Amino acid sequence: MKKLSLLLSVLLLLGAACSGCTRPSEDAVSRSGFYFNTVITVTLYEHGSEELLDGCFSLADRYEGYFSATVPDSDIARINAADGAPVAVHDETIELLKLGISYGELSDGAFDITLGALSDLWDIPTKALLDETDASMIPSGEEIRQACATVDYRGIRIDGNEVSLDNPDAAIDLGGIAKGYIADRMKEYLNENGVTSGLINLGGNVLTLGEKKDGAPYRIGIQRPFSEDGSVIATVDVTDETVVSSGVYERCFTVDGTLYHHILNLDTGYPYDNGLLGVTVITSSSADADALSTICFSLGLEDGMKLVEGLPDTEAIFITDDYELHMSSGMGSRIPCQTF
């Protein structure tokens, strides 16, 4: 199950998903695997770059072992299980936690990496896979109230490489930013090893390296909400940038005509109902785009667009529940967009 609600389709020949290398074109190599509870694919358009795929997937292994709340010995799992006691973690975990905290501050708490108790209570990814739904899948108001009381990024304490939580019942969940961070580290590794053309797709977090070998931009498709055949509602052309989306329909379930999805309003504890189906963010850092797509969704169309317009080199597409596209001011000129 993909972390992102709004699935991105890469309109390139990437090859079939598999555990080994494939050749989507004469000078390209591609490998896929299952990490972070989703399929990830790295495609490189450089001759002789097969061995660099090993390095990319070594990074995936390492960071899953640091950031996943469900890997028992991970840094995050140990922090969550420590009942507030300090836990020594890796440098990269500290870096990612600080980044998550900074986005908590930017969003005034709308993005909060201590939402683990609330997201575990709802357990939307598991419930979304069920064939039948009923009211018992919805947590009680008291359960939601108790879980919301544990959410406060300001209660994360960092002292050197030690991390503790003021509230022993709180739980960190980096699902809203970790894949973006990992994609950035993969791109950094590849650039350092001379790769200037390629594409990293971590379950819908798409990050491009440079331009295509023929000098053309990469064309990324944004899936039409609730489309069963994966058809796209728009495409964006990007060069050396990332495209990340958050939306309501990829991980969701319906009870008595009400849609329950994974983007939770941390004030109420319930999924947002703000007239948006999805938000796509285009910028240079995949970690930034990962967090911003959630933040912009949580802020709604008007305030989310204001935030994007105030950020440098950042664009966004908002999809409202009437399937209309609302684009930031730089989309038309800097990143051509085709709608369907």
DSSP 69-105: TTSTTSHHHHHHTSTT--EE--HHHHHHHHHHHHHHH
Q: How much is the pLDDT for 135?
A: 94
Q: Write down how long the chain is.
A: 340
The tokens describing 306, both together, are: 């204001």
What domains are there in the chain, each with its CATH number?
69-165 (1.10.3980.10)
Q: Is 324 exposed, middle or buried (0-12, 13-18, 19+ CB in 10 A)?
A: exposed
Q: How much is the pLDDT for 213?
A: 85
Q: How much is the pLDDT for 229?
A: 80
The tokens describing 231, both together, are: 């058809």
Measured distance CA(10)–CA(263) in Å, rounded:
24
Q: How much is the pLDDT for 68?
A: 95
Q: How much is the pLDDT for 251?
A: 84
* Residues of the chain scoring pLDDT < 50: 1-23
User: Could you count the other beta carbons within 10 Å of the beta carbon of residue 89?
Assistant: 21
User: Could you count the other beta carbons within 10 Å of the beta carbon of residue 163?
Assistant: 22
